[in-house]
Structure 1
Amino acid sequence: MAKVNLKQKPYNLDEIQINWVKETIKNMTTEEKIGQLFFNLFFFGNDHFSGNKYTNKEILDKFHIGGARYHGANSEEVQGLINQLQKDAKIPLLVAANCDAGGNGACSDGTYIASGAQAEASRDTKVSYQAGYVSGRESTSLGVNVNFDPCVDILKNWRNTIVNTRAYGTNADDVIKYTNAYIQGLNHSEIITCIKHWPGDGTEERDQHLVLGVNELSVKEWEESFGRVYRNHIDNGVEMIMAGHIALPEYQKFLMPELEDKDILPATLAPELIEDLLKTKLNFNGLVITDASHMLGMTSAMRREDYVPKSIAAGCDMFLFFNNIDEDFQFMLNGYKNGVITEERLQDALERILGLKAKLNLHIKQSNNQLLKDKKELEIIGCEEHIKMSIEAADKGITLVKDTQNNLPINPINHKRVRLYMLEGEKGGIYESNSSTQDLIKSELENRGYIVTINNGFDRIKGKTLQYREETDLALVIGNIVGYGAENNYRIRWKAAMANEVPWFVHEVPTIFASLNFTTHLHDVTMVKTYINAYKDTHESIIQLIDKMEGKSKFKGTPNENVWTNKWQAKL
């Protein structure tokens, strides 16, 4: 077993900090030690995921959790929750957010800068740097001290939508370049960086929320791609790595030749991938956390009472989210008492956890009453400086993939009557498209002199072709398809069979398709001759998109090869 060295990177602790770590662990009860292994997910309002019946304070007092994440809410609500949690915690908490594109990942009113895909398209490391910079500044104003990003996956498979927008490239060089810049921006704030999803997503199309993920690369292929990415960040001192529920069969069998297909487990449960490859061969001296434990990539491996402690035994140091808090805590405690988690492994995990808290000096801030955040710090959320960065990122990133019919630019004289088609994805899920986007686009076009008619996508009746051509000057199709964890991959889903929103009209009137999220929709609309990737439905992005459609600003983004989805028709 690879043991942590708190004097070396990524900790670099002095003797006083190390002494606090060791003495704190020494004075813990067994239950307190077990609790430190858990990251709890807190909700605003009804806690419908964990079946929790406890107050937040009771969770801290009874289960002694080491880390916290939260779901939803605006900046004031989030800051209030974190302040209360830190106030009530005996040992200060690691508090995480998912800021992969800006402060919008930390609170609902945070500033979006650019997704990984948008940063890649901009071909400017300044964009990813500013995404990290704003992510750090806005999240730390709330009390967040860990960022579960950036995503360092490589988008090799165009069908993959779980990391489609979060990946910074289709090759190791781009991923390294843009994620290095992101972390440089993030490092302006006092925050822990957690990269993901070890050992690497993006080679297949399936989603670990629903099935065991598999990275099919050979040992040589992995070393030349994902291996380079992880070595780069480990060498640069990244503090935390999130293990995905992803198997790496070729490498696992190379490390353990006796393994058969039936023995292959996700990284979160595979000591050969955590202890042998990551912590020993790649010399990662930081903290490994599991991805969310309710995902099927983990739950389908074995009984929960077995995999809860086995994750720690395999080399993971923290366990992300309870299913049932009483049950999971007991599963972990039983695993320790039964010897699944050895004394040595528990001690090492605790040193890695408390080592990060010591690196941030959370214990000193707690004793000096400096851990709690002031409302005045929230003035940075959505500030003018950050909005300017968002506008700049949109300007550099929005990508004209093709315009083979020469439909651009448009203007309110020749294209006055616009038929607007809104294609949306999942509703009521963890993430969904903004319901106000249609109104925003309509309003912005009308302010510029266009007359906008919203198409009824449920209508199968197309009407008279000549009449449509007479009454419509421009068909604008907006793909605002958003979803998460309910499908293995997200594609265009028409509102009805053969609905009138399917682009039958591309040869009747000028037609433009613009995606506000996923970048590979051309697979389903190869007939479209003008296609744009705009990456996000923020107000700043919509303004930039229409400016570019009107020729008031140049398209500056560069598409990668995935946008063509291996279809020759997509390029026509």
Structure 2
Amino acid sequence: MHQQHGRRRIAVVAGADVLQIHEHDVHRIQGGDPRQRRSTVEAIDWYARGRVVGVGEPRAVFRTAEPMLRTDDHHQADAWRAAQQVDVAATQPVHAGLIREQRDALAGDDMDRVRQQHLDPGSYLRTHAGRRTDGAGDHHEQRERMRAHRLLVVVAVLGCAGGQTVGRTARPVPRSSSPVPTVSVDSLLASLSVRQQVGQLVIPWLSGSYTALDDSLFQVAARWVDSLEVGGLIISVGSPFDIATKLNALQQRSRLPLLVSADLEWGAGMRVVGATAFPQIMAVGATGDPHDAYTIGAAAGVEGRAVGIHVNFAPDADVNNNPANPIINIRSFGEDPHTVSRLVAEYVRGLHEHGMLATLKHFPGHGDTQTDSHIGLPVITAGYARLDSLELVPFRAGIAAGADVVMSAHIAFPALTGSNDPGTLSAAVLTGLLRDSLRFTGLVATDALTMGAIVAKYGAGEATVRAFLAGSDLLLMPADPDSAVLAMTAAVAAGRVTPERLAQSVRRVLEIKRRLGLLERRTVPLDSILRVVGSKRFQDAANDVAVRSLTLVRDVGGRLHALRARARRLALIAYADEANSSVGLFLTDLLRQGGDTVEYFRLWPMSGTLSYDSARATIARAPATVFVANVRPISWKGNIALPDSLAQLITVTDTARPTVLVSLGSPYLLNQTPTVRSYVIAWSGVRASERAVALALLGRVPIGGHLPTRIPPDYPLGWGVIVPAAEP
């Protein structure tokens, strides 16, 4: 630290192998008030520690990545793999997610280029172009002269920073052969005030879409980081570069690294536009292949880490044993708890072996409800014996596989708790059942605290305190982050929350950040995104899962077989909610490319009489009709069903002409159209699923999936009509 003219000036840069301190004018760097005496700390590692998985590396993605878990985190492989305890920390640990220390012969020149380019995300954000600094020229020489005079090695820099303001600019430094000093979690924890500790537990929601640095929406997030000192963010939909640059900018501002999470249930494409979108995970239940679950986890891990996401709020470990459930449905692997367990464990393994933390949700089980917890409070009346034999089975398997986080359910379990309080606010559920009985030692996260089952009764601040007292560590998406921090801080001051209990949760958060390597490197190199996100390898894997998951439930009279026999003239009637504006269009294009003449018409949830009249006219002009319906769980909607008008149209059309009903989502549409004679389930509205349907209708692929859930009253678990591909 240097004292000059009454001001302290310090800037710390964490290089790949050494922490270095250089003098800078701290107030010029951060635009602070020169009258305030404060220090500025920068902790950015600008050097990739080895290789980044790329498109042209055939085996690299599915190899075991660097171990980010310690020796006490083991999992048991399934019987279809070699049955052995796997110690994921058995090799030399490297912490930075996608980054490897060992050179891979498959990487070739691509990795050399990644290793040699020193990308400055700060420059990218300032100029909207990725600036590379090659360590040459006058700037490099000046920096070397500064190093010669002012180099200090720091052992616990962040521990010395206290509550002081964080620097917001950074510059690359040359690689050094010195080791990176270990930052102690104990020293970090000791440096935090009560308010700062509380901030580490709060995880606000952040849009992933582009915003300028001076945009009001970005400034709100910047204030969360600067003032509330939140511990992390949950990122929503955006492009890969928008998400990565926004997260890099916020990581640079943050005193401690941010733990970034996202819902990537069916792959990074669920939130990252252009990343790989697999079918919904019930499709994996239909294939019955655990390797498909592993593959989705692997792809989500690689692509998510490439844009700066560390925690996947997946897999969904719920057993979908209630067909009327409006919010789980195809988000679950299925109805059989043992099958779900096997697939959950493989999904967790796929995430772990590719640098991503895994979450089990929604504890202790959200499958047997008929109420959307975003709207109201579901109640499950089953006792412990039923939960133990059904809902808890996949959670046990996921915990044994080493899952890092468990997310609570906003559901009341009166037989367990003796009250109608939601499980998120119940110590009997989160502490007694999860911690004590299931011996889970990782992070406990609330489901979104904006949900109606919580906010309507308790309010934003009180709900946060109650969730923490019940046993939560991460307070996800509070309705008002400021109120959450204030309420928690007040609860500590009033003695409702003890300092020891607060420190216990904060220590878990800091330890996770340390294990992820975020104390050494918190930003992502932007140039790796193009080689990783949406790569052909993952797209091919998604297409393969989609084809093998196709399930033919019924084909009375061989109508589907007849349609596959020749080029046809078809009416294609597509239905989806407003969020899926392109449903059926890709399918239509592929059928036309295959030789069919297809007339397309789109229906919406709000379609009225005139729209249905137009649909009937479209149907009348073609000798055969294909209905495709993307009915899926949607938060705040409260039901998952076809509109009655559409169900009636399907039924009437089926009596008059050859008709095939294709579900691009919920398997239960047959309950509303019980007389339809040909029914195919594709499980999802993503392009991979529409492609699979087109290939099946053209006769180019077999149909061989099996139901992972019953369709009452006629179709049992495991049902499926097997149809080979048509002969050329």
**TM (normalized to structure 2)?**
0.69
Question: Which position in structure 2 is the counterpart of 1:447?
Answer: 593
Q: Distance in 2 between matches of 1:459 and 1:277?
A: 52
Q: Is the 8 A contact 2:568 2:596 kept in 1?
A: yes
Q: Aligned runs of 1:254-293 on 2, under 5 Å?
A: 259=418, 263-293=419-449
Q: Distance in 2 between matches of 1:400 and 1:36?
A: 49
Whether 2:359 is the aligned partner of 1:194: answer: yes
For the residue of structure 2 that corresponds to 1:505, the secondary structure is helix
Match of 1:170 in 2: 335
1:470-481 matched pairs, under 5 angstroms: 471-481=621-631
For the structure 1 residues 69 and 438, does the alpha-carbon distance in structure 2 shift closer, same or farther, using more than 3 Å as the test? same
Matched, 1:484 2:630: no
Q: 1:28 aligns with which of 183, 186, 192?
A: 192
CA gap of 1:141–1:53, structure 2 versus 1, over 3 A, is closer
Task: Using the TM superposition, name which of 512-521 and 552-561 deviates more.
Answer: 552-561
2 CA distance for matches of 1:185 and 1:508? Answer: 48
* 1:462–1:287 distance in 2 versus 1, CA, 3 Å: closer
* 1:234 correspondence with 2:399: yes
CA distance in 2, matches of 1:453, 1:154: 39
Write the distance in 2 (CA, Å) between the matches of 1:151 and 1:490: 18
**Counterpart Cα distance in 2 of 1:365 and 1:413:** 58
Matches of 1:130 and 1:486, distance apart in 2: 30
From the superposition, tell whether residues 7 and 215 of structure 1 become closer, same or farther in structure 2 (CA, over 3 Å): farther
**Cα distance 1:498–1:396, how it changes in 2: closer, same or farther (>3 A)?**
closer
Give the secondary-structure state (helix, strand or coil) at the position aligned to 1:31: helix
Matches within 5 A, 1:330-409: 330-366=486-522, 371-409=523-561
- Which whole-Å CA distance do the structure 2 matches of 1:412 and 1:129 have between them? 33
Asked if 1:493 corresponds to 2:643, the answer is: yes
Contact 2:584 2:690 in 1 (8 A): no
Structure-to-structure mapping, 1:423-434, within 5 angstroms: 423-425=575-577, 427=578, 432-433=579-580
Supply the distance in 1 between the matched residues of 2:602 and 2:300 (Cα, whole angstroms): 38
**Alignment gaps of 5+ in structure 1:** 1-5, 253-258
Q: 1:523 to 1:273 in 2, by over 3 A?
A: same
Supply the RMSD in Å over aligned alpha carbons.
3.1
| In 2, Cα distance between equivalents of 1:356 and 1:82 | 18
- CA-CA distance at 1:406 after TM superposition: 1.2
Once the 2 structures are TM-superposed, how far is the Cα of residue 68 of structure 1 from its aligned partner?
0.7
**Per the alignment, do residues 406 and 273 of structure 1 end up closer, same or farther by CA in structure 2, a change over 3 Å counting?**
same
Match of 1:557 in 2: 705
The residue number in structure 2 matching 1:114 is 279
SS at 2:362 equivalent = strand
Counterpart of 1:290, as a letter, is T
Q: What is residue 82 of structure 1 aligned with on the other side?
A: 247
Q: Which protein, 1 or 2, shows the higher relative CO under an 8 Å CA cutoff with sep ≥ 6?
A: 1
Aligned identity (percent) is 21
Contact 1:412 1:450 in 2 (8 A): no
Distance 1:242 1:335 in 2: 23
Distance in 2, matches of 1:567 and 1:172, equals: 18
Contact preservation (8 Å) 2:407, 2:447:
yes
Task: Give yes or no for contact 2:205–2:235 (8 Å, CA) kept in 1.
Answer: yes
Q: Which has the larger radius of gyration?
A: 2
Distance across 2 between alignment mates of 1:400 and 1:415? 21
* Rounded Cα–Cα distance in structure 1 between residues aligned with 2:611 and 2:200: 60
Write the letter of the residue equivalent to 1:528: V
Post-superposition shift, 1:361? 2.2
* Deviation sequence 1:177-205 (CA, Å, 0-9, x none): 11111112112222211110011111122
Which secondary structure does the structure 1 equivalent of 2:657 belong to?
Answer: coil
Question: Could you tell me which amino acid in structure 1 is paired with residue 674 of structure 2?
Answer: T
Which amino acid letter does the alignment assign opposite residue 34 of structure 1?
V
Given that 1:460 and 1:499 are in contact with CA atoms closer than 8 Å, whether structure 2 keeps it comes out as no
Separation of aligned partners in 2, 1:392 and 1:53:
39
The one-letter code matched in structure 2 to 1:562 is R
- Asked if 1:306 corresponds to 2:462, the answer is yes
Distance in 2, matches of 1:138 and 1:176, equals 25
- Equivalent residue for 1:3? none
TM-score, length basis structure 1 = 0.87
Residue aligning to 1:546: 694
**Residues 536-562 of structure 1, C-alpha deviation per residue, up to 9 Å, x if partnerless?**
233332222122123221101101343
**What corresponds to 2:568 in structure 1?**
416
Amino acid at match of 1:491: A
Shift of 1:500: 7.8
The 8 Å contact of residues 264 and 300 in structure 2, kept in 1 or not, is answered as yes
CA contact (8 A) 1:114 1:127 kept: no
1:20-40 CA deviation, whole Å, 9 max, x = no partner? Answer: 211111111222111111001
Query: Residue type of the partner of 1:90?
Result: R
Equivalent pair of 1:522/1:565 in contact (CA under 8 Å): no
Residue 484 of structure 2 aligns with an amino acid whose one-letter code is D
Query: Which runs of 5 or more residues in structure 2 are unaligned?
Result: 1-69, 75-87, 96-155, 157-180, 722-728
Contact kept in structure 2, 1:41 and 1:69, CA below 8 Å = yes
Correspondence 1:69 to 2:234: yes
How many residues in Structure 1 have an aligned counterpart in Structure 2?
540
Distance change >3 Å, CA 376–CA 540, structure 1 → 2: same
Q: 1:459: Cα distance to partner?
A: 4.5
Q: Which residue of 1 aligns with 2:269?
A: 104
Q: Give the aligned residue type for 1:376.
A: S
Amino acid at match of 2:639: N
